[in-house]
Amino acid sequence: MIKQILLIALIIAVAYSTSCTSDSDCDDNFACKSNQCEDTCDEKTHSGCIEGYYCDSTFFCYECFEDEHCPENYACNNNYECNTSCIKDSNANECSGYSVCNDKNECVDCIDDYDCQGSTICKDQECVEPGSGSILNASFILIIGFIAYLL
């Protein structure tokens, strides 16, 4: 009975995984980027991107490449997203909500754990639950558990 439950859980985890390791793992008009299948686009016409997004030389759509692509008082960050700009050394809190100003004058969720609320921690300037992992981590754990059970 336990073997069947573990096998079903493994099948579900693999079926719902949208990860990839190469472009061939993705459907047509999609490419593998950061282990996720993403839309491809045309760099010259920006076709294939939703309105307001730009296609880069690697054929991925981004919100911006430079500050000029963003609305006033926004800046393009390293993730190619338009974020509210701020001045780190300013006493005025120019960032909304619980956001803080980083060294690049960008509003981000956090710089250190103390910037996060509740039990969340700061990882890559975002507040996340500690120990949160991807579906791949869960799949890997299930596979190891299943193999250990068979042995």
β-strand partners of 106: 85
Taking residues 127-146, what's their average pLDDT?
Answer: 67
Query: For the whole model, what pTM was predicted?
Result: 0.41
Q: 71 and 125 share a domain?
A: yes
In the chain, the number of structural domains is 3
* pLDDT, tens digit, 9 for 90 and up, residues 107-131: 888 999 999 999 999 999 989 998 7
Q: H/E element holding 7?
A: helix 2-15
- Residues 3, 29, single domain; the answer is no
Does the pLDDT of residue 7 top 70, yes or no?
no
Rounded distance between C-alpha atoms, residue 110 and residue 127, angstroms: 6
**Domain span at residue 106?**
64-132
